[in-house]
């Protein structure tokens, strides 16, 4: 039920952190994966680790805001399984934290452009290639910040809330093609949360809201993506699943 054998996947922002863990978990479940990232060397390193472990993987340099690069990566992933893409994970992200009264338009637009714009761009590029036999999946990455807000990252919260709306609307549109669209809202120890984790006050405030009292490792998040990508989630679409130790209850 959880096998991804014979399926292809494109994972953005997969050069490290949660994206890398997802790519590895997909490969372990049997999928052929294109590991994409703005950092080409990081993507290639992850792909090489997957291959060394016996999996199928290639790498691609992708700026998710660039439609041409997104299209090339989607076609590369589809080519791994005869021209059909089965799974797209929109994980690429960026942060530019600042209190709202100090936030610049560039900071705001950068984060919205990568998260919301990137999710739109890559999803649209992948859509013509996505399987319509019930195995097609788009899995977006949002955050508790997009569900309950956060201090010092209005841009990030707005972007992640936008991804929630995009996920639900796209799920309704693509249901007729039997393509399922869901989102995961994780909380993990990654470079995206480093600015919080390295600030004692912010880290304590954050963990005080987490009943399990700790940060997840990226590998603890990846299994949820395997679930959404697999036949076990064949009748689930338009949902947002927090994987955050209970922060959002």
Q: Which residues are catalytic?
A: 156
Beta strand 137-141 with 180-186 is: parallel
Going by the DSSP 8-state scheme, the letter that residue 189 receives in this structure is S
CA 113 to chain centre: 15
**In which residue are the tokens 């996947």 written?**
9
Please name the residues in contact with 79: beta carbons below 8 A apart, sequence gap of 6 or more: none
Q: Order of strands, edge to edge, in the sheet holding 87-90?
A: 56-61, 32-37, 8-11, 87-90, 137-141, 180-186, 240-243
Q: What is the DSSP string of 196-245?
A: HHTSHHHHHHHHHT-TT-SPBPHHHHHHHHHHHHSGGGTT--S-EEEEST
Q: How far apart are CA 42 and CA 203, in angstroms?
A: 27
The answer to whether the beta carbons of residues 248 and 144 sit under 8 Å apart is: yes
Interacting residues of 165 by C-beta distance below 8 A, sequence separation 6+: none
For 214, the token pair is 């700790």
Query: Which two structure tokens, joined as six digits, stand for 56?
Result: 């199928």
């Amino acid at each position: 039920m959880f096998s991804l054998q014979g399926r292809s996947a494109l994972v953005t922002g997969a050069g490290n952190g949660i994206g890398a863990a997802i790519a590895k978990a997909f490969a372990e479940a049997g999928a052929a994966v294109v590991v994409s990232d703005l950092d080409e060397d990081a993507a290639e390193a992850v792909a090489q680790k997957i291959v060394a472990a016996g999996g199928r993987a290639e790498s691609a340099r992708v700026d998710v805001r660039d439609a041409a690069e997104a299209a090339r990566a989607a076609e590369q992933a589809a080519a791994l399984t005869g021209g059909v893409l089965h799974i797209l994970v929109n994980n690429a992200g960026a942060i530019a934290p600042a209190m709202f009264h100090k936030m610049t338009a560039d900071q705001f637009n950068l984060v919205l452009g990568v998260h919301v714009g990137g999710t739109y761009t890559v999803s649209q590029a992948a859509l013509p290639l996505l399987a319509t036999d019930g195995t097609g999946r788009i899995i977006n990455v949002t955050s508790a910040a997009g569900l309950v807000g956060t201090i010092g990252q209005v841009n990030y919260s707005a972007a992640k809330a936008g991804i929630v709306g995009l996920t639900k609307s796209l799920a309704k549109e693509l249901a007729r093609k039997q393509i399922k669209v869901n989102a995961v809202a994780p909380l993990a120890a990654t470079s995206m949360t480093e600015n919080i984790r390295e600030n004692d006050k912010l880290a304590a405030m954050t963990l005080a809201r987490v009943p399990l009292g700790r940060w997840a490792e990226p590998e603890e998040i990846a299994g949820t993506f395997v679930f959404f990508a697999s036949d076990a989630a064949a009748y689930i679409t338009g949902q947002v699943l927090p994987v955050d130790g209970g922060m959002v209850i």
